[in-house]
Structure 1
Amino acid sequence: MILALPAGLALNLGVGVLVLGQGTGALIAGGAYLAGAVLVCVAMRKHYPHARLGACNAVTLMRLALTAALIAPLVGGQAAGWAVAAIATISLTLDGVDGYLARRSGLCSDFGGRFDMEVDAALALVLALHALSGSPVGFEVLILGVMRYLFVGAGLIWPWIMAPLPVSYWRKGGCVLQLATLIALQIPLMPQDLGIVLARVASVALIWSFARDVVWLGRNR
């Protein structure tokens, strides 16, 4: 973990400065990464059942660094674009790598699954803010970025909502659709009407997925 944190910070700053070209924004993004990584360290001490970090969690930390780096162009007023889409695509691609490495190395854990989920949620939120600022899609695109946080907020009011959920390929598919749509909205050549349709279709699918989970949790509390 000690080596993974500075490696992730270096990746974050490198992407922010060299690719996205935002010096001040990269520093802010670096601070966001460090704050997230510290929270991960604290949670890992309490909830991670294995003695070693493993390549799986190192990859998830890398995804966290890439996600935080996308804050840089937002701060610099250069939302969306090809660079944002490319970096987000890399992060989404690595989403399948960390799970594979965890299974192969015998380091699967509830902590690792939750860590991966929260990085996905953070990536969705950052990309939704990019789409809101740099694409023709309206405020409805924020649905794709805030649903996870609304779900967690509801769990603070009704604790039964935060109970463990069974594995669901519908949920995984909804997450992929959510992130793939947000990445597509970063592309400058996206036609306005198509972007709006994609955002609304993905939003409806995501709302349905969360509603399906809430109904299951309510019936099984």
Structure 2
Amino acid sequence: MALNNTYDARLQQETAVGAGVQILLLALLGPAIGMGVAGWLSGLAFAFATWAVLSRALHRSALRSFGPANRVTLGRATLVGGVTALVADSFQSTPPVTLLVGLTAVALLLDGVDGKVARRTGTCSTLGARFDMEVDAFLILVLSVYVSTLLGPWVLLIGAMRYAFVAAAHFAPWLNAPLPPSFARKTVAAVQGIALLIAGSSLLPHPAELTVVLAALGSLVWSFGRDVAWLWRHGRISAAEMAVEPDSAPAGTVQAKVLELAAR
């Protein structure tokens, strides 16, 4: 018990340091750009929420070390917190586009680094993968909010689609079944951040930015549609087939996962 408490204390120290770095970044950005109340509140809220959620997840996990990959992801989360503050502040004053694009670009460039670090150091974990995914999703949401002020509210569909999928899974448990790995899915996800970054930079003519973001949205709709169709075929149908012999579903398969969810 004492050893577990020691590990937990070390993990909590890591999250506290992350929150501290986030606040330090805000302290540097605030005076430099004359950040308003909205920016400060959004940045601080992001720092507190990240610390609280991550601390709780680590406490419930079996991890004994935070690990180098999670440190990279935490660094990305710090950058995303800065982007969040800048986007919130943009509703009150002209945003520093160069700074916004710079922070976003670094966060996007680091998006595959944590995974590579985890594989090379043998520190892959379910929590780390989920942490990485949530940071990515929130960055896309924040960017879509910013770009929506330039191109129109329809851009919010890009940031909201993943959260809508998660909400739908509460009413349709078959959507929670695991999906097979897909390079196309990863590519489409990466395209969203790049497209929003291009549009947010305002370097291209308006029609070109519109085309880029529309293409990104179209690819995202295709990707989610393909995954939902796969889950429908291999989730609901497989569950119905296995209902006659529920004990015959091999552990770890889609059928077993669906049957487990249906039993809850």
* Common fold by TM > 0.5: yes
Residue 18 of structure 2: aligned partner: 5
Tell me the CA shift for residue 79 of structure 1. 4.6
Does the 8 Å CA contact 1:131/1:185 hold for their aligned counterparts? Answer: yes
For residues 134-169 of structure 1, the C-alpha deviation after alignment (integer angstroms, 9 at most, x for no partner) is: x2x122211211111011011111112122222111
The one-character-per-residue Cα deviations of 1:77-133 (angstroms, maximum 9, x if unpaired) are: 235722211111100111111111111121111221111111111000100111112
Identify the residue that residue 140 of structure 1 maps to in structure 2. 154
Shift of 1:11: 4.9
Counterpart Cα distance in 2 of 1:194 and 1:101? 36
Query: Is contact 1:155-1:161 (8 Å) kept?
Result: yes
Partner residue in 1 for 2:174: 160
Residue in structure 2 matching 1:216, options 210, 230, 251? 230
What is the aligned partner in structure 1 of residue 112 from structure 2? 96
Let me know the Cα RMSD of the aligned residues. Answer: 1.9
Amino acid aligned to 1:104 = R
Partner Cα distance (1:80, 1:202) in 2: 25
Amino acid at match of 2:213: A
Give the corresponding residue for 1:181. Answer: 195
Please state if 1:29 is matched with 2:28: no
**Is the Cα–Cα contact under 8 Å of residues 13 and 29 in structure 1 kept in the other structure?**
yes
- Out of 83, 95, 104, the position equivalent to 2:99 is 83
What residue number does 2:81 align with?
68
User: Which residue is equivalent to 1:118?
Assistant: 134
Contact preservation (8 Å) 2:175, 2:231: yes
Deviating above 6 A after TM superposition, structure 1's stretches of 4 or more consecutive aligned residues are none
Of the structure 1 ranges 106-115 and 24-33, higher mean CA displacement relative to structure 2 is found in 24-33
User: Structure 1: which amino acid aligns with 2:119?
Assistant: R
Give per-residue Cα distances to partners, 1:150-202, cap 9 Å, x unaligned: 11011111112122222111111001111100111111222110011111110
Evaluate the alpha carbon distance shift between residue 52 and residue 35 of structure 1 in structure 2; reply closer, same or farther with a 3 A threshold. same
What residue number does 1:203 align with? Answer: 217
CA distance in 2, matches of 1:138, 1:172: 26
CA distance in 2, matches of 1:93, 1:18: 27
Identity of aligned residues (%): 35
Would the alpha carbon gap of residues 105 and 20 (structure 1) be closer, same or farther in structure 2, given more than 3 Å must change?
farther
The yes-or-no answer on 1:58 pairing with 2:83 is no
Which letter maps to 1:120?
A: D
1:30-88 per-residue CA deviation (whole Å, 9 max, x = no partner) reads: 22122122112212222x44310011111111111211211222332235722211111
Give me the whole-angstrom Cα distance separating, in 2, the residues matched to 1:96 and 1:184: 19
Bigger relative contact order, structure 1 or 2, given CA contacts below 8 A and separation 6+? 1
1:176 is paired with a residue of what secondary structure?
helix
CA distance in 1: counterparts of 2:40 and 2:155, whole angstroms? 25
| Aligned equivalent of 2:185, options 155, 171, 183 | 171
- Structure 1 residues 33-42 or 120-129, which shifts more? 33-42
Distance 1:5 1:197, change over 3 A: same
Unaligned runs of 5+ in 1: none
Contact 2:175–2:228 at 8 Å: present in 1 too?
A: yes
Quick check: 160-169 or 114-123, which moved more? 160-169
Conservation of the 8 A alpha-carbon contact between 1:37 and 1:61 = no
Letter of the structure 2 residue corresponding to residue 70 of structure 1: V
Question: Which segments of 5 or more consecutive residues in structure 2 lack a partner in the other structure?
Answer: 1-10, 236-264
